[in-house]
Amino acid sequence: MARYVFITGGVVSSLGKGLASAALGALLQARGFSVRLRKLDPYLNVDPGTMSPFEHGEVFVTDDGAETDLDLGHYERFTGVSARKTDSISSGRIYSNVLEKERRGDYLGKTIQVIPHVTNEIKDFISIGDDEVDFMLCEIGGTVGDIEGLPFFEAIRQFGQDKPRGQCVFMHLTLLPWIAASGELKTKPTQHSVKELRSIGIAPDILVCRSERPIPEKERQKLALFCNVRPDSVIAAYDLKSIYEAPLAYHREGLDQAVLDAFQISPAPKPDLSRWEDVYDRVFHAEGEVRVAIVGKYTQLEDAYKSIAEALTHGGMANRVKVKAEWIDAEIFDREDPAPYLENFHAILVPGGFGERGTEGKIKAAQFAREKQIPYLGICLGMQMAVIEAARNMADLSDAGSEEFDHEAGKRRFTPVVYHLKEWVQGNHMVERKVDDDKGGTMRLGSYTAHLTKGSRVAQVYGATEIQERHRHRYEVDIKYRDKLEACGLVFSGMSPDGRLPEIVEHRDHPWFIGVQFHPELKSKPFEPHPLFKDFIRAAKEGERLV
Ligand code: GLN
């Protein structure tokens, strides 16, 4: 049976609970324990799949095809443990499960209530697979006191009681604001937040306090006294230059020790932090800088492309360079020539996206990269745009486009080089999609195998001819156009095992131009940079354009 750490937040949101959870996971691993991380989100959406990236940041896709919160990306990047469908749940999903059971008659006509029906559903979810790991870390989204979060807080309170003593530890993350006028760090908001938590029956064992200034001993004692925790369980979380410093920083502040003490695990196994020391060294001792233009749509909110930003950083770490990513709004190129915007970059990346807006600009960016021989990585929509570019400008299909943008039946604007896929093979069964399916969950999602052509650039990059990568899309490049495009130099170098779905394209006469239908960024880790990002940055670094 796993030991449980519940991570809650107070005072304000966005304090970095996800990062603290992920770093704690990494530290427990460094001490030889196995971990799994889970996110419980109070919002009412059934899953984040249909939430706008503007609102919620990127949708992180797991191997088993769940569309989850971007915090699961942090968890994977820090622990290397692949998240599963059962590692992310929202209130919406919980309620939807409960209502489905009610409709099926599973509750035998009883009155359905938050306690026990909703809380039981949450507890069942938390326990899934608890015999598989030493520690289960469960983060509750939002802050204590949020109305939607109450059933989750109540469920974890009950859970702590249901389990044998010493099986669950509660960790609460808060903020100590710095008041410049009086030159003080204030503990009162934390005291209130803990009071709120205790009023719903949860007494935190560990307090993690975000602070921009060192926490004086006096304040630490005060927090311990008023919040009823041990002084060595008041852990400081200072601002960091890089998130990858977090495991070492939290270790320095004694977080992992405090957690092991709370579980009375003694003697505590010694940690091996070499992985994180190496990561630290690569982040802070980079030589030179590579500039990458990311031509996309959701450029105002960096979280919308979180995993891409991280994967680029990892690629830089592998090559010991700093990667400076700049976000360029693709729509600018609808009106303007891309040259002045793009010519000073060492590489161009066109990420995934949905909808027509900005796509002509992305096509122009792909054309610019191809013609100017600048390293190009096209991800999902970025691959589709590169194929349309080649079709239009190299293969004489001047009206090439994607069915995604042809809404009016009977009035075709484009030759659908990229078409809407309705059925495909997953493992050894057929998946079918109806035209009028809901928007949620109708995509080709999760991990699929691709076969790479021997001798191709991608086969060289991966050092393999069979790979597994994660997908999230509705449209596919039409194999019908393969011969025509290959004759012009756009090689289809990765295909689905049945040979029907193009997974990777690359330009033969270009130093580094690769488009992939999947999302390689989701599998990159600081201690194991993804081969495509590693080689993309190498190409950018070694390219003649390096200044
Ligand atoms: N909109 C495209 C599709 O659905 C690409 C999706 C993506 O980039 N993730 O196929």
Q: Is the CB of 380 under 6 A from ligand 1?
A: yes
Fold category of 3-279 in CATH: Rossmann fold (3.40.50)
Q: Is the CB of 475 under 6 A from ligand 1?
A: yes
State residue 546's pLDDT score.
Answer: 40
Our answer on whether the CB atom of 405 is closer than 6 Å to any ligand 1 atom is no
pLDDT in tens, 355-379: 888 999 999 999 999 999 999 999 9
Q: Assess contact for 284 and 319: CB atoms under 8 A.
A: no
- Average of per-residue pLDDT values in the chain: 92
- Return the SS3 of 172: strand
Task: Give the residue-averaged pLDDT of 201-211.
Answer: 96
Given this model, what pLDDT does residue 45 score?
A: 85
> Domains of the chain: which residue ranges?
3-279, 286-408+416-542
Strands 513-516 and 376-379: parallel
Whether 534 lines ligand 1, by a CB cut-off of 6 Å, is: no
> Distance between CA 500 and CA 496 in Å, rounded?
6
Q: Quote the CA–CA distance of 263 and 126 in Å, as a whole number.
A: 19
Contact between 196 and 144 (Cβ < 8 Å):
yes
Write the CB contacts of 331 (distance below 8 Å, at least 6 apart in sequence): 297, 357, 358, 361
How far is residue 2's CA from residue 131's CA, in Å, rounded to a whole number? 6
**Model pLDDT, residue 181:** 92
Structure tokens at 394: 């190299």
Alpha-carbon gap, residue 276 to 485, rounded angstroms: 45
Relative to the CA of 380, which ligand 1 atom is closest? 8
Cα separation, 528 vs 119, whole angstroms: 38
Average pLDDT over residues 47-74: 83
pLDDT for res 304:
83
- What is the pTM assigned to this prediction? 0.92
CA of 383 to the centre of ligand 1 (A): 9
Same fold, 3-279 and 286-408+416-542: yes
The per-residue pLDDT for 412 is: 81
Active site residue 380: yes
Among 380, 387, 420, name the best residue to mutate to test ligand 1's pocket (greatest count of ligand atoms within 8 A of Cβ). 380
Residue 381 beta carbon below 6 angstroms from any ligand 1 atom: yes
Q: How far apart are CA 258 and CA 236, in angstroms?
A: 12
Stronger pLDDT, 5 or 11, i.e. the higher one: 5
Q: Tell me the C-alpha distance between 15 and 261, whole Å.
A: 24
First to last CA, the chain: 56
Listed range (30-44, 47-61, 246-260) with the worst mean pLDDT: 47-61
pLDDT in tens, 154-182: 999 999 999 999 999 999 999 999 999 99
Distance of CA 75 to the CA centre of its chain: 8
Q: Read off the amino acid at residue 4.
A: Y
Q: What is the largest CA-CA distance in the chain?
A: 75
Contact 1, 132 (CB under 8 A): no
pLDDT digits (tens, 9 = 90+) for 483-538: 999 999 999 999 999 999 999 999 999 999 999 999 999 999 999 999 999 999 99
Averaged pLDDT, 2-18:
92
Q: Determine which of 75-89, 239-253, 289-303, 378-392 has the lowest per-residue pLDDT on average.
A: 289-303
Residue 469 pLDDT grade (very low, low, confident, very high; cuts 50, 70, 90)? very high
**CA–CA dist 106, 121 (Å, integer):** 13
Neighbours of 51 (CB within 10 A): 16
Q: What pLDDT digit, counting tens, does each position of 300-327 carry?
A: 667 888 999 999 999 999 999 999 999 9
Annotated catalytic residue, options 360, 380, 403, 451: 380
- Locate the ligand 1 atom nearest the alpha carbon of residue 476 and give its number: 10
User: Which amino acid residue places its CA nearest to atom 7 of ligand 1?
Assistant: 352
Rounded distance from Cα 404 to ligand 1 centre (Å): 9
What's the CA gap between 372 and 366, in Å, rounded? 10
Q: What beta strand segments (E) does 242-359 contain? A: 289-296, 322-329, 347-350
pLDDT at position 437 is: 55
- Rounded to the nearest 5°, which phi and psi values hold at 335? -110, -30
Say which residue, 34 or 11, is predicted with more confidence: 34
Please give the CATH superfamily to which domain 286-408+416-542 belongs: Class I glutamine amidotransferase (GATase) domain (3.40.50.880)
Ligand 1 within 6 A of 473 CB? yes
